[in-house]
Homo-oligomer: A and B are copies of this chain.
Amino acid sequence: MVRKSFHYFHPVLLIPVLLLLSVTVISSCGTDSDHYSPVTEKGIPETTEQKAFAIALHGGAGVISKDIDPETRDGYLNALDHALRIGYELLDAGGTSLDAVEAVVRYLEDDERFNAGKGAVFTSEERHELDASIMDGRDLNAGAVAGIRTVKNPITMARKIMEESRHVLLSGDGAENFASLMDLERVDNSYFNTERRREQLHRAQERASAGNSGTVGVAALDRHGNLAAGTSTGGMTNKMPGRIGDSPLIGAGTYADNNSCAVSATGHGEKFIRNAVAYQICAIMEYTGVSLQEAAEQVIFGKLDEGDGGIIAVDRYGRIAMVFSSPGMFRGAADSEGRFEVAIW
Binding site for B on A (CB under 8 A): 3-10, 46, 48, 135, 140-142, 146-147, 165-178, 210, 239-245, 249-252, 255, 259-260, 269-270, 273-276, 279-280, 283-291, 317
Cβ B48 vs Cβ A8 within 8 A: yes
Min CB–CB distance A48 → chain B (angstroms): 4
Chain B residue numbers with a CB within 8 Å of A4 are: 287-289
Query: Assuming the A-B contacts A175-B242, A251-B276, A287-B283, are A270 and B8 also in contact, with contact meaning beta carbons closer than 8 angstroms in the complex?
Result: no
Asked whether, in the complex, the Cβ of B169 is within 8 Å of the Cβ of A244, the reply is yes
Q: Which of A5, A10, A275 has the most CB of B within 10 A?
A: A5
Q: Is B167 in contact with A270, judged by CB distance below 8 angstroms?
A: yes
CB of A249, distance to nearest CB on chain B (Å): 6
- Least distance between A12 CB and chain B CB atoms (Å): 11
Instruction: Point out the residues of chain B lying under 8 angstroms from A252, CB to CB.
Output: 250-251
Q: Is A240 a contact of B178 with CB atoms below 8 Å?
A: yes
Least distance between A173 CB and chain B CB atoms (Å) = 6
A173-B170 contact given A48-B8, A259-B5, CB 8 Å threshold = no
Cβ–Cβ < 8 Å partners of A10 in chain B: 5, 7, 48
A287 partner, pick from B173, B241, B276, B288, beta carbons under 8 A: B288
Q: Give the top 9 A-B pairs by smallest Cβ distance, nearest first.
A: A174-B242, A4-B289, A172-B172, A174-B241, A251-B276, A8-B48, A283-B283, A276-B279, A140-B274
Cα(A241)–Cα(B177), bound, Å = 9
Contact B279 A250 (CB under 8 A): no
Known A169-B245, A251-B252; 16 more pairs at CB < 8 Å: A3-B289, A5-B8, A6-B289, A7-B10, A7-B289, A8-B46, A147-B174, A166-B210, A167-B239, A169-B244, A170-B242, A171-B242, A174-B243, A250-B276, A283-B284, A284-B287
Taking CB atoms, residues of chain B closer than 8 Å to A3 are: 8, 259, 286-287, 289
Nearest-Cβ distance from residue A281 to partner chain B, whole angstroms = 10
* Given known A-B contacts A178-B240, A279-B276, A172 and B169 have beta carbons under 8 A apart: no
A285 touches which of B5, B244, B286 (Cβ 8 Å): B5
> What is the bound-complex CA distance between A273 and B135, given in angstroms?
11
Task: Report yes or no: B173 in contact with A242, Cβ–Cβ below 8 A.
Answer: yes
Contact B241 A173 (CB under 8 A): yes
What's the minimum C-beta distance from A317 to chain B, rounded to whole angstroms? 7
CA–CA, A24 and B7, complex, Å: 27
Which of A141, A171, A280 is packed against the most chain B CB atoms within 10 Å? A171
Determine how close the nearest CB of chain B comes to the CB of A160; give it in whole angstroms.
13
- Across-interface contacts of A283 in B (CB, < 8 A): 276, 279-280, 283-284, 287
Distance in Å from the Cβ of A265 to the closest Cβ of chain B?
13
Q: Using Cβ atoms and an 8 Å threshold, which residues of chain B touch A287?
A: 3-5, 283-284, 287-288
> Of residues A46, A177, A283, which shows the largest number of chain B Cβ atoms within 10 Å of its Cβ?
A283
CA distance A287 to B288 in the complex (A): 6
Nearest B residue to A165 by beta-carbon distance?
B240
Question: In the bound complex, how far is the Cα of B165 from the Cα of A10, in angstroms?
Answer: 43
Q: Is the CB of A170 within 8 A of B273?
A: no
| A317 B8 Cβ-Cβ under 8 A | yes
What's the Cα separation between A170 and B241 when bound, in Å? 8
Residues of B within 8 A of A274 (CB): 135, 140-142, 168, 250
Give A279 to B286 CA distance when docked, in angstroms. Answer: 14
